[in-house]
Amino acid sequence: MARIGNITFACENPVALAEFWAAVLGYDLERVEGEFAEKLLELGVAPEELGSECAARDPNGKGPRLYFQRKEKTPTATAPIHLDVNVDDREAEVERIRELGASIVETRTRSLGPFSERWTVMRDPEGNPFCVQASQR
């Protein structure tokens, strides 16, 4: 069975973006040092490039690892992939995440028969879109 190893972001400032997402999700920052640096060197990363990589890891080991690499972003007309962040209190979390450096794009509602959902579209400090939605109970 396959599983996700990383969700990788191309970004301008890997450490700053990893710090942002670690704060949003309650993750630990994983800087490029020690065994992590040794593994990257084994995989062919040049020593001078070690500062261009960083990760954020779920301290409980349940969520996916987010990996950040200094790379030029490929422009797209839409965001073909984005993160959905589920929270208990959408409005409070949107404000907390905004204070961490994200921007609010819009809040949307969709109804399908008796089912209705509401979410807020946001952008992280480098402009990557993501959505914040109250967890379904």
Q: Give the distance from CA 48 to its chain's centroid.
A: 25
Given the candidates 3.40.120.10, 3.90.78.10, 3.40.50.720, 3.10.180.10, the CATH classification of the domain at 83-134 is 3.10.180.10
Please determine, for residue 4, whether its predicted confidence score (pLDDT) is greater than 90: no
**Per-residue pLDDT reduced to its tens digit, 102-133:** 999 999 998 877 878 899 999 999 999 999 99
**CATH top class, domain 6-70:** alpha beta
**Per-residue pLDDT reduced to its tens digit, 29-49:** 998 888 878 887 887 878 888
Spans of all domains in the chain: 6-70, 83-134
CB atoms within 10 A of CB 60: 8
Instruction: Determine the Cα–Cα distance for residues 22 and 58; give it in Å rounded to an integer.
Output: 8
- CA-based nearest residue to 97, from 24, 12, 9, 10: 24
**Per-residue pLDDT reduced to its tens digit, 45-75:** 788 887 788 999 999 999 999 999 888 877 7
Q: Do the Cβ atoms of 120 and 132 come closer than 8 Å?
A: yes
